């Protein structure tokens, strides 16, 4: 019994020694820190989307300056994967299996990069909130630890097609799509909506993002007499497609997904050729006077963004995608764990940040809506000098 008491005293002493240092059973969580991570292309064909992950850094610095979350500081880790899935999974594993570990992942740009790590994170029961991609693969079927905020590309394509056909009276709608899950999501949505309208695609042309000569593609669109062309591409590929079309005197209505909705940026790099393009938008436009967006501009962007950073939706979208996890962390309180975070996230209903309303429900493997937070977009158009014209109110497709 004496030996047992001695061991008991030793164990109590060890526990008392480590407690002030914040030793927790959860990866990436201590008494004073929460380790959260993301990835985003700072180089490569999708580098225009790289500001998404940089915005998260500024946002968490703002939160930490305001006292953190229930006394814990957020330690943010992110890396450049160059939009390359092999680099994505290598970087995610390196951080997740590091000495500090990662409590949760946020955002992460790209459908193919995200698909490369989804199973790995779900098997480890690591929460992932707000993939920066609107593919259905995140929530159909749903995963307990994955919460999406981006509206489906599938639905966005439906809304664009419906607007083109019913409001603009377009008859020959085509699509140029990136030949991966991102692009194919737009293709499926366009085909679905056209089918409802008793129409078919005038042309459906896959495109490799590294393709340089786009003249044959434009000739196919011209031969198809496409009066509207949807572009499910990276911003650089979309700009090159529109530019080649203009050079070849191809007169059509260009439309695209919200991934190409940063009109000031695209207008600048395209030297104005994208004027007139219509896209979806998942969140407030850059010159909105919304109080919350203005707070992010003054307290996050102006204080913590690099001096050469540009204010625009490609930047603050990084904040919008992961606002729900901060809400969930606040709701979870001081006694934090991954399971408690998940339980509190499931209670979020009609959350209104700088995106549309976001709601989740208790996990149901048969209900994608239990993990798909936002369902609405509105349509915008690029006008002179890269300015934005709002065309519609929020729109939803059931």
Report yes or no on 5 lying in a domain: no
Q: Do 169 and 265 fall within a single domain?
A: yes
Q: Do 385 and 255 fall within a single domain?
A: yes
> Residue 13: pLDDT above 90?
no
Report yes or no on 373 lying in a domain: no
Q: Do 160 and 147 fall within a single domain?
A: no
> Residue 397: pLDDT above 90?
no
Q: Do 40 and 132 fall within a single domain?
A: yes
Report yes or no on 369 lying in a domain: no
| Selected residue with higher pLDDT from 340 and 22 | 340
Give residue 4's pLDDT band: very low, low, confident or very high (50, 70, 90): very low
Q: How far apart are alpha carbons 102 and 79 in whole angstroms?
A: 14
Q: What pTM does this model have?
A: 0.87
User: Residue 7: what pLDDT?
Assistant: 54
Cross-strand pairs, 385: none
Q: Which of 111, 181, 148 is nearest to 321 (CA)?
A: 148
CATH number of the domain bearing residue 262: 3.40.50.2300
User: Residue 240: what pLDDT?
Assistant: 95
- Provide the token pair at 169: 């009276």
pLDDT in tens, 123-141: 999 999 999 999 999 999 9
- Provide the token pair at 28: 């990436």
Burial of 198 (C-beta count, 10 Å sphere; 0-12/13-18/19+): exposed
> Residue 20: pLDDT above 60?
no
pLDDT in tens, 191-238: 999 999 999 999 999 998 778 899 999 999 999 999 999 999 999 999
Mean pLDDT of 381-397: 94
- Provide the token pair at 247: 């050079």
Mean pLDDT of 343-353: 97
User: Residue 18: what pLDDT?
Assistant: 40
Report yes or no on 371 lying in a domain: no
> Residue 1: pLDDT above 70?
no
Average pLDDT value over all residues in the chain:
92
Q: Do 244 and 321 fall within a single domain?
A: no
User: Residue 15: what pLDDT?
Assistant: 42
Query: What percent of the chain is modeled with pLDDT above 70?
Result: 93
Q: Do 294 and 240 fall within a single domain?
A: no
Report yes or no on 324 lying in a domain: yes
User: Residue 241: what pLDDT?
Assistant: 96
User: Residue 5: what pLDDT?
Assistant: 53
| Selected residue with higher pLDDT from 21 and 76 | 76
Q: Do 64 and 77 fall within a single domain?
A: yes
Q: Do 235 and 347 fall within a single domain?
A: no
Cross-strand pairs, 390: 380
> Residue 356: pLDDT above 80?
yes
User: Residue 48: what pLDDT?
Assistant: 87
> Residue 283: pLDDT above 50?
yes
Q: For residue 46, what are the CA distances in angstroms to 10, 24, 107, 233, 386?
A: 55, 37, 15, 10, 20
Q: For residue 347, what are the CA distances in angstroms to 354, 368, 370?
A: 19, 16, 10
Q: Do 16 and 144 fall within a single domain?
A: yes
26 within 8 A of 32, measured Cβ to Cβ: no
Q: Do 37 and 76 fall within a single domain?
A: yes
Q: How many domains does the chain have?
A: 2
> Residue 104: pLDDT above 60?
yes
Report yes or no on 329 lying in a domain: yes
Q: How far apart are alpha carbons 3 and 342 in whole angstroms?
A: 43
Report yes or no on 370 lying in a domain: no
Q: In this structure, what are the phi and psi dihedrals at residue 259, rounded to the nearest 5 degrees? A: -65, -10
Q: Do 240 and 388 fall within a single domain?
A: yes
Report yes or no on 374 lying in a domain: no
Q: Do 41 and 68 fall within a single domain?
A: yes
Q: How far apart are alpha carbons 44 and 85 in whole angstroms?
A: 12
User: Residue 184: what pLDDT?
Assistant: 95
Give residue 16's pLDDT band: very low, low, confident or very high (50, 70, 90): very low
Q: By residue range, what is the domain housing residue 134?
A: 10-151+289-363
Give residue 72's pLDDT band: very low, low, confident or very high (50, 70, 90): very high
373 within 8 A of 324, measured Cβ to Cβ: yes
Give residue 3's pLDDT band: very low, low, confident or very high (50, 70, 90): low
40 within 8 A of 78, measured Cβ to Cβ: yes
């Amino acid at each position: 019994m004496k030996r047992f008491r001695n061991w008991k005293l030793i164990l109590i002493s060890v526990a008392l020694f480590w407690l002030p240092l914040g030793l927790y059973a959860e990866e990436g969580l201590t008494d004073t820190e929460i380790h959260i991570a993301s990835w985003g292309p700072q180089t490569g064909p999708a580098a225009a989307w790289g500001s998404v992950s940089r915005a998260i850094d500024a946002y968490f610095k703002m939160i930490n300056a305001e006292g953190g979350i229930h006394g814990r500081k957020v330690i943010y880790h992110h890396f450049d994967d160059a939009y390359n899935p092999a680099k994505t999974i290598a970087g995610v594993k390196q951080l997740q299996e590091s000495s500090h570990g990662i409590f949760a992942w946020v955002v992460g740009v790209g459908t193919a990069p995200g698909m490369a790590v989804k199973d790995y994170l779900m098997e480890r029961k690591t929460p992932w909130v707000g993939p920066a991609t609107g593919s259905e693969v995140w929530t159909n079927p749903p995963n307990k630890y994955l919460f999406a905020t981006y509206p489906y590309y599938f639905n966005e394509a439906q809304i664009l097609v419906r607007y083109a056909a019913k409001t603009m009276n377009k008859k020959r709608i085509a699509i140029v799509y990136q030949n991966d899950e991102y692009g194919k999501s737009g293709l499926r949505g366009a085909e679905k909506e056209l089918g409802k309208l008793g129409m078919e695609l005038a042309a459906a042309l896959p495109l490799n993002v590294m393709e340089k000569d786009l003249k044959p593609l434009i000739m196919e669109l011209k031969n198809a007499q496409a009066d509207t062309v949807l572009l499910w591409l990276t911003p650089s590929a979309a700009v090159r497609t529109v530019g080649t079309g203009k050079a070849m005197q191809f007169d059509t209505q260009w439309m695209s997904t919200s991934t190409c909705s940063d009109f000031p940026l695209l207008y600048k790099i395209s030297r104005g050729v994208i004027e007139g393009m219509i896209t979806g938008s998942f969140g407030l436009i850059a010159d909105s006077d919304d109080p919350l967006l203005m707070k992010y501009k003054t307290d996050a962007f102006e204080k913590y963004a690099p001096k050469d950073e540009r204010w625009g939706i490609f930047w603050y979208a990084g904040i919008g995608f992961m606002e729900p996890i901060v809400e969930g962390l606040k709701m979870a309180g001081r006694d934090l764990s991954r399971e408690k975070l998940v339980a509190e996230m499931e209670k979020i209903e009609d959350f209104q940040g700088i995106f549309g309303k976001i709601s989740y429900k208790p996990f149901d493997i048969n209900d994608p809506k239990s993990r798909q937070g936002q369902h609405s977009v509105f349509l915008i158009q690029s006008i002179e000098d890269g300015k934005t014209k709002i065309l519609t109110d929020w729109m939803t497709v059931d």
